[in-house]
Each structure stands twice: as structure tokens, then as C-alpha cells.
Amino acid sequence: MPRQAYRAAIFHLLGDPPRGEYAADGVLVVEDGHVVQAGAWSDLGPRLKDIPVTHYPGALIVPGFVDAHVHYPQLDVIASPASHLLDWLSNHTYPSEARFADRAVADEAAGFFLDELLRHGTTTALVYPTVHKASVEALFEAARTRNMRLATGKVLMDRGAPDNLRDTADLSDSSDLIRAWHGKGRLIYAITPRFAATSSAAQLEGAGRLLAENPGVLLHTHLSENHEEIALVKSLFPDCADYLGVYEKFGLVTDRSVFAHCLHLSDGEWQRLARAKSAIAFCPTSNLFLGSGLFDMARARLHGIPVGLATDVGGGTSLSLLQTMNEAFKVGQLRRHMLDAYALFHLATLGGAKALGMDDRIGNLEPGKEADFLVLDLGATPLLKRRTAAARTPEEILFALAMLGDDRAVAHTYIAGARAFSRDAASTTAAARHTTPP
Ligand code: GUN
Ligand code: ZN
């Protein structure tokens, strides 16, 4: 694709420890799907002589959001009440996931899911499919069609689940899928034992072997979300000292591992996670909805553990990373650890990219990065418009977006430099559909 430029306010985070870079009147230059440069219009504008410039007045360009943990087969059970995690899984989740044995069901859901991600400004995600091979193939194919950077892999569960959702300790489907999809375009494979409670020792051992044999492949699972779950894992693996110890026993705690939740870790578990350089997916809307607990962000920071923000839909209640920032902030307040606007945007962009081992390719708008970015509309709602107009600093604008924003604020989503979603085009299409007589 030829060189293109986009003019608007720009915000992104650079480096480690991260520092924010903001240009009130900025420009992002993109070529062949990658960032050439981002900076102030006053510096770069005069040098962009023959390059077409798209101007988005009243908008803010940010890197695409990263959802560090989400389940695509759970869209039909989002917003299903349950007293706690294990009831929610048995009563709502498992029956819905069983339908994904059918490739046509998986294809339709995968397409809908990825279009919803783009509409919400999420350009990369680490995704649970189901135990069915077809559910993985459907998602990889749909992501490839949209050229999205995405990681997923067959869910492993060979016990403690209904018959129609159980597999075996034979991991040949997973091996086949790794060969077929890992590293193809922008796709990454993630070995995905559902959680320790639904895998036998033999299956976890196989998962560890597969992880060791396949460089660049991720390990993705749940850890320490709910007290009943923790007790169940303890009863199933009595020889392991704690929950993390089960995963350690099978070689699953590595610098390529992403653990969702991590709400009730012991001191030792925190230390061992940090030593292994594993990452955590922080899922505030899910943790509040299922009453699972309050994530300790201060502790994760103290240990230097990479943390990405995650919706965990369908346990979570929104696909919007902006809404998820809102609830992450409130969890922080209850923990007496205030997250500022930069910290919230870091969790959803560069922090998420680092948690997924992708920060060399995505997460900010440094030269050479893949050009996944959003055009956020600061006037998306009357209140957001009023509040951002009254803002005196970039932090105030970003914080208002995190508290008041949602999918309505996403005007355009670009994938590798190409426009993949436009809100106004979508609403025009929807309106046109609406006015078509039945
Ligand atoms: N633990 C095991 N499976 C799940 C799931 O589908 N959602 C959540 N939130 N936790 C889990
Ligand atoms: Zn989950």
C-alpha cells in the first residue's frame, strides 16, 4: 500500500517503563501496513508533500486495543447471571460451547465475533475457542481474512466436563493445528488447557511437551479465579502445593504463558510467576460480574509481571476495552491503588502486547510497528464531547475516554494500515437495512 498520512491528536506509550507521547495536532504516516512515523503536524506536515493526508478533526488516534483474554463461543451467554464461576460454567457456558462441534456454527460466530472486535476497537486478541478443532479453524480463517494479529488454540479438557465437550490426552489435533496455522500471516498458536480442573495429568504433560517443542507458541489458561475452583484443583492434584504448582509440574509456567485472573495467589505464587516471566490477563468486568475477586495490580507491578487488560467475555460483560478500563479503575480504587489514564491505556495497548509477547510488532506507533490503530471520536456522545472540551491536559482527555467511552467512540479501526471498520459507514448500512421493507 502506498504511503498515507492521518492527521488528528495522537497518543501512544513508548518504552519500558512506559512514557506517554501526545500530540494535540499530530500526524501518523503509514506505508505497506507499517508505521513510518508519528509526531507533531508542525514537524512532519511540511515534509509530507506528495502524500495524501486524511484529516480527522476532533479525533484522537491511538494504537489498536489488545484484548488479552476472551472467549469467542460465549457471545450467546454473555449477560447470563450465576452465583459464581462453576455454576456459570455448568449452567450457561458448557451448553453453549457444545454447539461449536458444527463448523457452520463456528464460522458464523467467528465472523460475528471478529467484526464486533473491530467495531469495539480491538485489533488483537488472545482467544479461547472450544474443544472442537473446527472452532479453531473457523477463527483462524476468519482472522486471516481480516488480516488481524490474533492468537488462539484448541481448548484442552479431558475430564470434569460434559461428554460432548471432552477430548483425550492425545494432542494430535493440537499438533496438526500448530503446523497448519502458527506463524501463518499474523496468526499465533496458543496451547489452551481450559484450567487445571478439566485436564488430566496426562493431558497437561502433553501440553507441556507441545509447548517445549514449538518455539513462539503461547500457553493460555485460567489461574486462581474463584475459591471453589481453587479447592477443586487442590482435590484433583493433592501432590501439588498450590494451583500454580500444578501448571509448574507440567512445564506450563514460562515466559510464553498467559494466565487469566490470578485473583487469589499466595506470596509464593506471585514470586514464582515473576521469576518465570509469565504474564497475567486482568479481567475486571468478569471478576466483578462473577463475584470472583479484586485483582491486585499493585502486587503485579511490584513483581514486574506483565499485565494485559482483558474482557473475558462471556464472563465479562463488554467487548469494549474502554469500558473495561473503567472497571479496572474501580477495582484499583477498591484496592486503594489508583490507576491513572496512562496506566489504563498502557494495559489496553503496549502492556497487552507485551503480555502476549507481541510488543516488538504492535502496541504503539513506533516506526516499523504494524499499523493497527484507532480513530477515536472525542465527540461521540454529548457528555464525552462536553467533558473532553473542558479537559486541560492530555491525561484528562484520556481519562474521560476511559470512564465515558465505549464502542460509540470508535470512529474507525485500521488493520495493518487498511481501514477495517468505520462507524458511520456501518450505521448507514444498518439504517439502510432498517428502511428496506420486509
Ligand atoms: N475457568 C474455566 N473456564 C472458564 C471460562 O470459560 N470463563 C472463566 N471466566 N473462567 C473459566
Ligand atoms: Zn476466561
Alpha helices by DSSP H, 358-418: 382-389, 394-404
Supply the pLDDT for residue 426.
77
- Closest-approaching ligand to the CA atom of 89: 1
Give me the amino acid identity at 186. R
Q: Which pTM value belongs to this model?
A: 0.97
The residue behind cell 512514557 is 19
142 contacts 166 by C-beta, under 8 angstroms: no
Q: How far apart are CA 32 and CA 194, in angstroms?
A: 38
Supply the pLDDT for residue 425.
87
Supply the pLDDT for residue 429.
54
- CA 362 / ligand 2 centre spacing (Å): 23
- Average pLDDT, consecutive stretches of 10 residues, N- to C-terminus, the chain (438 residues): 95 96 98 98 94 97 99 98 96 96 98 98 99 98 98 98 97 98 98 98 98 98 98 98 98 99 98 98 98 98 98 98 98 98 98 98 98 98 98 98 98 98 78 42
Computed on alpha carbons and rounded to an integer, the radius of gyration of the chain in Å comes to: 21
Residue 292 Cβ contacting ligand 1 at under 6 Å: no
Q: Which residue's alpha carbon is nearest to atom 9 within ligand 1?
A: 315
The residue behind cell 494479529 is 149
Q: Which residue's alpha carbon is nearest to atom 7 within ligand 1?
A: 315
Residue 230 Cβ contacting ligand 1 at under 6 Å: no
Q: State which ligand 1 atom lies nearest to the alpha carbon of 93.
A: 6
Q: How far apart are CA 351 and CA 348, in angstroms?
A: 6
Q: Are strands 410-415 and 373-377 parallel, antiparallel or unpaired?
A: antiparallel
